[in-house]
A = this chain, B = another copy of it.
Amino acid sequence: MEYKFSERVQALKPSAIREIFKYAADPTVVSLSAGNPSPEAFPSEAIGEISARLLRDHPIDALQYSVTEGYAPLRNRLKRYMKETHNIGREFDDLVMTSGAQQVMDLTTKSLCNEGDVIICEAPSFIGSLNSFRSYKVRLHGVPMEEDGMDMAALEQALREEPNARFIYTIPNFQNPSGITMSLEKRKKVYALAKQYGVMILEDNPYGDLRFEGEDLPAIKSFDEDGIVVYAGTFSKVLAPGMRVGYAIAPSPVIQKIVVCKQGSDVHTNIWSQIVADEFMENYDYNAHLQMLRELYRKKARFCMDLLDRHLVPNKITYSPIQGGLFIWCRLPEGVDMPDFCKQAVLRKVCVVPGNAFLTDEDEPCQSFRINFSTPTDEQLEKGIKLLGELAREVL
């Protein structure tokens, strides 16, 4: 039978990078293409203790239907915590628990955008968010990235050119895929421009707690006196992504619409995992846990950058050192065919993600690829980066 699909999903063609990911499933291939937390990052014992207690003492709380807004004690705790630690959340804001931060992207778009509207995003940006936006038949307008965040002239031009722009999507800390952190000056400028042009900001911050060097910068949401920022947070990188627990902090009218959409989407987020996250923050040393994660990723990132310095940099591949997050963005010399380089790499049993996968238009030229250092073991990192270096020495 010929199936007739909606126009919105017809537009979602399988990505060009799928081809390469097929190879990554081969166990003999070293994958530097994932984005998973390190297996050492999970507080499995604490989660086991909390869950055992919960199912023994209050099983129905964990297993019964719950409210769409999320587990009230966790919502209240996060409101307090984000206010105290990040100055996020004002009188006019509210908080809804979501099924991972991905659902914030999904339901914010559903709530704010008509088909044909425009979302302004960093180029490159996180492919999962871009695809979620595309599924609402919006048009993406990419703004090139500089070392300290979006090119502000290009952002302003985009805002001038796009009267139907609904929001600016940004990952200000250790951006996926570029690793770039937006400067304080640009954060203020993005906020001012959004306000001036009457568009909202969707601030996605999965990696903010994973800074292992330098000073924390304030979230754009912390400037939000005007109620124009939707902030997306998540436990995926700091507790466990398999639990799918994230949240949005945004002006109450926006949260109300997200809640209505969420009710029709999945009713509520797994309540068992919400309670576990709440009790972890209550009864365990959350700060010490975050500190452990930073130590872990500092070590792994340094180990990885040492390998890059040894094997790639001498062979004409450059990269920008990072201060947090899980990704490093590597750049091939001009004139080199990047997708072909990635294809050759995978034939030599090392898999990276070609950078064009993260562009609003995959066909634009791109000289970069993304590597991840949190998922592979040190041995795999060493083996994979050596293989990339050998390839670079031969073909560049």
Contact = CB atoms under 8 A, between A and B. Distances in A.
Interface of A: 1, 3-9, 12, 14, 35-37, 39, 42, 44, 47-48, 51-52, 55-56, 59-60, 62-66, 99-100, 102-103, 105-106, 110-115, 117, 128, 131-132, 134-135, 166, 226-228, 236, 240-244, 251, 253-254, 257, 260-261, 263-273
Contacts of A35: 65
A140 to B, nearest CB: 13
Contact of A63 (B6, B128, B242): B242
Per CB-CB distance, the 6 closest pairs between chain A and chain B, nearest first, are: A44-B59, A132-B264, A63-B240, A48-B55, A99-B266, A242-B271
B263 A131 contact: yes
Contacts of A59: 42, 44, 47-48
Contacts of A115: 115
B251 A132 contact: no
Given A9-B261, A14-B260, 10 more contacts: A1-B228, A4-B112, A6-B110, A39-B60, A106-B265, A132-B264, A244-B268, A244-B270, A272-B272, A273-B273
Nearest to A42: B63
A35 B64 CA distance: 11
A181 to B, nearest CB: 23
Given A64-B37, A240-B63, A99 B99 contact: yes
Contacts of A132: 264-265
A7 B37 CA distance: 38
Contacts of A266: 99-100, 102-103, 106, 244, 266
Contact of A52 (B7, B48, B226, B265): B48
11 contacts: A1-B228, A5-B111, A6-B110, A9-B110, A9-B111, A12-B260, A14-B260, A39-B60, A42-B60, A63-B241, A272-B273
